[in-house]
Amino acid sequence: MAFPKNVQVNALASCKRHCCLCEKYCKTNIELHHIIPKSKNGEDTIENCIPLCFDCHADVGSYNPKHPKGKNYSIEELKSRRDKFYEKIKNMPIGLSFLSVEDCIKLNEFKNDIAHIVEYIIYIDFSAEPFDLNLKSYLDDILCKWGKITNRMDNINLENIKFNILANIYKLNSYLTPKYFHSTPSKTLIFNNHPSENLQELQKETYSLRVSLDELLNKLYEYK
């Protein structure tokens, strides 16, 4: 059963349609979660309500205590996170991305480090075109620098975008080996002349990585 209209209005106004966990601005893509489930006599009250984006709602609701994996959100944690977020956003404009000064500095540095190389990756068909001999070295440097704990960002949504960009770069980097490529006289790399099933694998995997990186780069640049 849904929350009463007055509870819905109160909760959505209090969070300004942001997720209380990842702090993403959701617009209409937001749901109101019962902190104590209805099946456990949770009430339809503002105290028992937390606004969440679709992804966070799925994470909170999908935990299976009979087969635990990871650590579930507790009732106390959800309430504390919600109340602190309500207070944090009270005087903030709607739709504002909550970035600390430190995160702003890291964001701009991360963009400077990865934008050019990721755009290069997006437009290269690795299974058919020669590419920069130094690409692996560039990617190694990015992974080494931005994989450090000291370069983590406080904004959860932004950190997730950064993490997923690095995960895709890491996966692509695993293909940049002599198993798949060799150097050319023009100082580029090109795919080895392997059987067609290997070519199809590389085409599929690198295309998927390029599409994912394109989407993630667009999300990254939503943060100014």
Cβ burial of 157 (10 Å; 0-12, 13-18, 19+) is: buried
Closest to 27 in 3D by CA, of 50, 53, 49: 53
Alpha-carbon span 149 to 78, nearest angstrom: 25
Who's near 180: CB < 8 A, 6+ residues apart? 191, 192, 194, 198, 202
Kindly report the CA angle at 45 between 41 and 50, in degrees rounded to 5? 95
Give residue 215's pLDDT.
Answer: 94
Alpha-carbon span 127 to 202, nearest angstrom: 6
For residue 149, list its beta bridge partners. none
Give residue 59's pLDDT.
Answer: 87
For residue 17, which amino acid is it? R
Cβ burial of 213 (10 Å; 0-12, 13-18, 19+) is: buried
Give residue 67's pLDDT.
Answer: 44
Give residue 190's pLDDT.
Answer: 76
Give residue 95's pLDDT.
Answer: 56
Spell out the per-residue pLDDT of the chain, length 224, in tens: 689 999 999 999 999 999 999 888 888 999 999 999 888 899 999 999 999 999 899 888 765 455 455 578 889 999 999 999 999 888 776 655 667 778 889 999 999 999 999 999 999 887 777 888 888 899 999 999 999 999 998 887 789 899 999 999 999 988 888 877 878 887 777 777 655 556 677 778 889 999 999 999 998 987 76
Domain boundaries, the chain: 5-89, 101-220
For residue 210, which amino acid is it? R
126-158 pLDDT, tens digit per residue, is 777 788 888 889 999 999 999 999 999 888 778
